[in-house]
Amino acid sequence: MSELMIPEVLAPAGDRERLEAAVLFGADAVYLGGQEFGMRSSPANFTPEQLKSAVEHAHRHGVRVYLTCNTVPTNEEMERLPAYLRDAAACGIDALIVSDIGVLMTAKRVVPELEIHISTQAGVVNYVTAGELHRMGARRIVLARELPLDSIRRIREHLPDEVELECFVHGAMCMSFSGRCLLSNYMVGRDANRGECAQPCRWGYYLMEEKRPGEYYPVYEDERGSYILNAKDLCMIEHIDKLAGVGVNSLKIEGRAKSAYYVAVVTNAYRNAVDQYRRHPDSFRLEPWILEETFKVSHREYSTGFYFGQPENAQCYQDGGYVRTCDVVATVDSWRDGMLEVIQRNRFFPGDQLEALPPRSRPVPFVAERILNEAGETVQSACHPMERLRIPSERPFPVGTILRKQKE
């Protein structure tokens, strides 16, 4: 692989708002789910009409769309699959993400023109399996999250150049191999393999001896219990060069259930990281502000997962919650004659020290010296969500720019 390979930035899209955020802030491609067969049931997902509109929007901006079809279907669902696939193909999607062999072969028969990507749910960890799936019709393999870089390199070396490799690089990590977990189904009747995971691995646990009911023995550091199954979030943004170097074609950001703000900020960070790698492939060293952006979204502590071998210190033992340091206060809708028109999201005040994050760019310090309502009256606080406001600004920030402030 002598030619420099620039990885794709692949962002999650749980609904139309998140899709637009991903497109605006620099995704090369998005992955999303329909009303069935997807591994995330909690996001709104897309009806056929919404999917068609979403694909048209993405394609207008040169962004590809991959549809998740990676659950393990029942007999009854398999009977509905051919019609579902034809409808999806008619919407113009660029690829299907599948994990089940029956779904793969049905797709090859029913919609042979569609590109097939093998989901991480298939748990591919070796080049033999990857090669066989390619012979069955797969164009891309989304590798298991448990692979180190050296293993990914070996898989790449044994595959034809036309086979693409995709890896998760950012977001929540499942405590079970490639997401094959029964905890949620066993404990609350929600099947993780059908997109309904309740994330019991994030809960606190105690140890109890069977002959001493009610006597709990905590295996932990404090009175809140032990979070022995609670994995840290993955973050590989400092290692784009290493991922590209072993042949990873697509960098996948986890988070179809995350907010549009999360999608925008993390997509923007990886867009800038990949662009920096493009400019300086032989001397790549991440600019500090790009790494800092990944800490300005709701997240758990970060780790590099399995990429550098068996993870060390990769669990969050203290609690199961998230760290959040910033609040979005508004988004820019237009700029004209030295005034930003913004849509309010959270409360802020005149004189607040804010930060503006333009699409595909670095953050800029910004002070809201005055805030005016639609009638042109100065207000002492912005406290009505979705209200249109105006803020003086000599700089013409583009549409979609995020205004945020440090969380109090």
What integer pLDDT is reported at residue 269 of this predicted model? 98
pLDDT in tens, 307-350: 998 766 655 445 556 677 899 999 999 999 999 999 999 999 99
* pLDDT, average across residues 205-232: 61
What integer pLDDT is reported at residue 301 of this predicted model? 85
Longest dimension (CA), the chain: 76
- For 244, the enclosing helix (H) or strand (E) is helix 240-245
Q: Could you tell me the domains of the chain?
A: 8-176+231-303 (3.20.20.70), 326-406 (2.40.30.10)
What integer pLDDT is reported at residue 320 of this predicted model? 52
Asked if 53 and 42 count as a contact pair (C-beta separation under 8 A), the reply is: no
108: pLDDT strictly greater than 70: yes
401: pLDDT strictly greater than 90: yes
* pLDDT, average across residues 220-229: 50
In angstroms, rounded to a whole number, what is the distance separating the alpha carbons of residues 243 and 245? 5
Geometric angle at alpha carbon 314, from 273 and 157, rounded to 5°: 55
Residue of 269, 400, 290, 266 lying closest to 345 (CA atoms) = 400
- Give the pTM: 0.87
116: pLDDT strictly greater than 70: yes
Asked if 333 and 372 count as a contact pair (C-beta separation under 8 A), the reply is: no
pLDDT in tens, 354-378: 999 999 999 999 999 999 999 999 9
User: Which of 108-117, 295-304, 321-330 shows the lowest mean pLDDT across its residues?
Assistant: 321-330
pLDDT in tens, 35-44: 888 665 555 6
Asked if 99 and 118 count as a contact pair (C-beta separation under 8 A), the reply is: yes
What integer pLDDT is reported at residue 204 of this predicted model? 66
What integer pLDDT is reported at residue 1 of this predicted model? 43
Asked if 389 and 372 count as a contact pair (C-beta separation under 8 A), the reply is: yes
pLDDT band at 24 (very low <50, low <70, confident <90, very high): very high
**Bridge partners for 68 per DSSP:** 33, 97
In angstroms, rounded to a whole number, what is the distance separating the alpha carbons of residues 98 and 70? 4
The better pLDDT of the pair 191, 218 is held by 191
What integer pLDDT is reported at residue 348 of this predicted model? 95
115: pLDDT strictly greater than 90: yes
* pLDDT, average across residues 123-129: 96
pLDDT band at 46 (very low <50, low <70, confident <90, very high): very high
Asked if 29 and 36 count as a contact pair (C-beta separation under 8 A), the reply is: no
Read off the DSSP letter of residue 323: B
* pLDDT, average across residues 233-246: 96
Given its phi and psi angles, is residue 158 left (phi above 0), alpha (psi -120 to 50 degrees) or beta?
A: alpha
pLDDT-above-90 percentage for the chain = 70
pLDDT band at 165 (very low <50, low <70, confident <90, very high): very high
Residue of 215, 316, 258, 221 lying closest to 12 (CA atoms) = 258
264 half-sphere exposure, CB direction, 13 A CA radius:
24
Q: Residue count of the chain, please give it.
A: 408
Pairing verdict, β 29-33 and 8-12: parallel
- For 98, the enclosing helix (H) or strand (E) is strand 95-98
